[in-house]
A = this chain, B = another copy of it.
């Protein structure tokens, strides 16, 4: 397994009890931008349409402006400028967090870790 797979870093931005942004929502935003609709994005991620729609609804209620604009009636969906801004800062935080893998702490832990759990 790669060092990346061994050391997981999960960043969640909370709004009250809701997760306003996290790894799954960031991937969904990117897929919507690429595919042009929530249903196509859900298919691309192997996610149900219902779940994708729910995640979009949470995101749109947690930020000061909506991140995704939906035309309704199957007319597709667009990631707004606000959505692009939020996504860019979230990805930047993730990249900075990934830098922890370069430090001595992770190096020491990796050496102390077994490849597989002992039975």
Q: Which residues of A contact B (CB under 8 A)?
A: 1, 5-16, 18, 20-21, 58, 61-65, 82, 85-86, 89-90, 92-93, 96-97, 100, 103, 105-106, 108-109, 112-119
Contacts and interface: CB of A to CB of B under 8 A. Distances in A.
Nearest to A96: B100
A61 B8 contact: no
A101 to B, nearest CB: 10
A112 B14 contact: no
Q: What's the dominant secondary structure at chain A's contact region?
A: mixed
B118 A61 contact: yes
A108 B93 contact: no
Contacts of A64: 112-114
